[in-house]
Chain A
Amino acid sequence: GQNIDQPTEMTATEGAIVQINCTYQTSGFNGLFWYQQHAGEAPTFLSYNVLDGLEEKGRFSSFLSRSKGYSYLLLKELQMKDSASYLCAVRSDYKLSFGAGTTVTVRA
């Protein structure tokens, strides 16, 4: 099975940087994903890592260390619209398992 841990909540100021950590234990790792979900809405894809290292995509970056079972999502130049839940998900075979999500609140 999967065991995925991420912090429950984080708060940051507009314009700042926030790093959301995710640790996982899994068999048959086949990729780590980050999704953003605003309250009452569907998740939207942010990033995908399957090899170690950093993937950068605009204001969002995601890092993976497979040997440590660790990933983080870095949100830069925070905007009010970034207030949402951020879900870490691990794929094993064809199954995607999600963490409970980190609620990020951006304050003015």
Chain B
Amino acid sequence: DSGVTQTPKHLITATGQRVTLRCSPRSGDLSVYWYQQSLDQGLQFLIQYYNGEERAKGNILERFSAQQFPDLHSELNLSSLELGDSALYFCASSVPGQGDNEQFFGPGTRLTVL
């Protein structure tokens, strides 16, 4: 158990819908990262937040957005869902002051778009 929690564990929805994935980092970790892992694309970095502020952006679609709240939990919002958005979505957090060298991954949310 990494200490990072993600809800829900599984999510099944239809094309065109909107969903919200939630992540709680380890106690004391200020950085939260979101990743998407699909069979054909591998693990792709989406976005990073540090203490409530966006720090880095990767291959995140405009239909996707994220935020980090004052209590440091984060949410990833996916809208106008397409079949290709079906994937495992991981959240990770890292220890502040150590260059973010080790990221601790949550168990992931498996999203299925039908």
Please give the residue numbers on chain A whose beta carbons come within 8 Å of chain B beta carbons, in ascending order: 31, 33, 41-45, 48, 87, 89, 93-101
Contacts and interface: CB of A to CB of B under 8 A. Distances in A.
Interface residues on B, range: 20 to 34
Contacts of B43: 43, 87, 89, 98, 101
Given A45-B102, A100-B42, A93 B90 contact: no
A97 B90 contact: no
B2 interface: yes
A95 B105 contact: no
A97 B46 CA distance: 10
A95 B107 contact: no
B64 interface: no
Given A87-B43, A101-B42, A95 B56 contact: yes
B108 A42 contact: yes
The main secondary structure of chain A at its interface with chain B is strand
B48 A94 contact: yes
A100 to B, nearest CB: 5
Given A94-B48, A94-B56, A98-B42, A42 B106 contact: yes
B104 A45 contact: yes
B27 interface: no
A44 B56 contact: no
B58 interface: yes
